[in-house]
Amino acid sequence: MDETSDEPPTSAVLLDNCHFSQVIFNDVEKFYVPGGDITCYYTLTNNIAPRGKDWVGIFRVGWKTTREYYTFMWAPLPSGVSGHVAVQQQIQFKAYYLPKDDEYYQFCYIDQDGVVRGASVPFQFRAETEDDILVVTTQGEVEEIELQNKNLLKENEELKENCASLQKQNMDLQEQLEKTQELQNSFESLKSNREKVEQELHSLKEENKHLKELTNCREEELHQLKEQIQKVTSEKEHLENRLKTALDHMDQLQSQVLNYEKEVARLEHDRTEQLECLKEENRQLRLTVAEQQQNCNLMKELEEEKHLYQILQAKNNETDKENQELRKENDDLLRRLSQNAGGGLVFGNPYCGSGANQDAKTEDIASIRKCPMCDEVFPGAIDTSDFEAHVQSHLLECPLCNETFEKTNLQVFDDHIYCHGLE
């Protein structure tokens, strides 16, 4: 082991990825005698830049990774030498840390990244034997040695060529390593992009899940809306049926109203005929009263007239007002008859003869006007417009067809207006 407590930087890099030609070990013996220190000589080529954590280790032949070193020494940094120049270096290993067996070992130069930069030929730790001593005794042997040296030089040249080829291969491998590093960087970038894509995919999945939930909610709302539409449609059909029934009922009511109008018209016609008969009877009654001079007969006729008037009033309530006016007129006639019974005259000047009285009576009858509605008597000198205004005050005129109705027939007038609203 080394004399320091620090562990050297190692790696699990296989031998195929190492660069054995960047550091060349020189003057390596075939074997070293145990129990003594040994010095390792090596050359740093211009293809390596030494660093502070580079080291030289002794490895048993057959090692696979730089972690399998037996002992090591820190490689000293060259001093006073600029780059791109081969530098000769040496390290001394103490005998205490060297192997004690006779296995084959070799020196290896390891940089601070744990990568092998150079390796020596194998050697052993054993004692020197007679077979290892070379004694030149004859000229033939010298020539043979010289021939061997030439062969060795030739092999050395071949080794240099191999070394150059190995350096070229090393450069190619270095370029491949750089490309591999670029590919590694690309792979890392792709890996990062893949992680981002996976995150985006996860986000899209979450969003898709949320959209599916929204879609389910929309479908449920749509189903509720369809149910509401069906309910509204059912209510609409029910309302349409009710409307149809109402329209049919309205048609029936309109038919009833028309029948009612016909009945009202018939009743109005009957009432008009009755009123005309009543007026005619009243006129006849007045003539009869004017002609009769006796108070008893006149009173009897008046009582009969009153009785007849009450019967007509029971038949038609619409003629109450007119009957009241007739009763008033009859009362006036009774009053006049009473005056005639006391003084012997009905009309005219009491100092004139009977012929004069008859002429005065005729003149008074011609000079009066009577309202056909209320039978109110007006003097002949009254203005025609005033008389017509009085008569018009008893009438109601329809604003739609200008038909006139008596105010006493207010219900008939309202029914007439209502019938116009149904048209």
Give the tens place of pLDDT for each residue, 224-277: 989 999 998 988 999 899 988 989 888 888 888 888 788 888 888 888 888 888
Give the tens place of pLDDT for each residue, 62-112: 999 999 999 999 999 988 766 567 899 999 999 999 999 989 999 999 999
Give the tens place of pLDDT for each residue, 305-333: 778 766 765 776 776 787 778 878 878 88
The candidate with the shortest Cα–Cα distance to 116, out of 80, 189, 170, 78, is 170
Q: What is the pLDDT of residue 4?
A: 47
| Domain 1-128 class in CATH | mainly beta
Give the tens place of pLDDT for each residue, 40-59: 999 999 889 999 999 999 99
Rounded CA-CA distance 405/289 in Å is 32
CB 381 within 8 A of CB 374: no
pLDDT over 60 (residue 338): yes
pLDDT over 70 (residue 367): no
Give the tens place of pLDDT for each residue, 80-89: 766 567 899 9
> Once rounded to an integer, what is the mean pLDDT over residues 140-150?
70
Q: What is the pLDDT of residue 81?
A: 62
pLDDT over 70 (residue 135): no
Rounded CA-CA distance 47/410 in Å is 135
Q: Are strands 377-379 and 104-110 parallel, antiparallel or unpaired?
A: unpaired
Structure token digits, residue 275: 């009123």
Core vs surface per residue 232-267: b (16+ CB within 10 A) or e: eeeeeeeeeeeeeeeeeeeeeeeeebeeeeeebeee
CA angle 81, 53, 97 (to 5 degrees): 105
pLDDT band with cut points at 50, 70 and 90 for residue 16: low
Mean pLDDT value across the chain: 80
End-to-end Cα distance, the chain: 130
Contacts (Cβ under 8 Å, ≥6 apart) of 379: 367, 368, 369
pLDDT band with cut points at 50, 70 and 90 for residue 295: low
The label of the residue with tokens 């211009």 reads: 46
Structure token digits, residue 14: 């296989």
Query: What single DSSP character describes residue 7?
Result: P
pLDDT over 60 (residue 344): no
Instruction: Supply the pTM of this predicted model.
Output: 0.34
pLDDT over 70 (residue 409): yes
* Cα 161 to Cα 11, 170, 290, 406, distances in angstroms: 30, 14, 179, 150
Rounded CA-CA distance 239/232 in Å is 10
Core vs surface per residue 374-398: b (16+ CB within 10 A) or e: bbbeeeeeeeeeebeebeeebebee
What SS3 state is found at 183?
helix
Structure token digits, residue 75: 């490689």
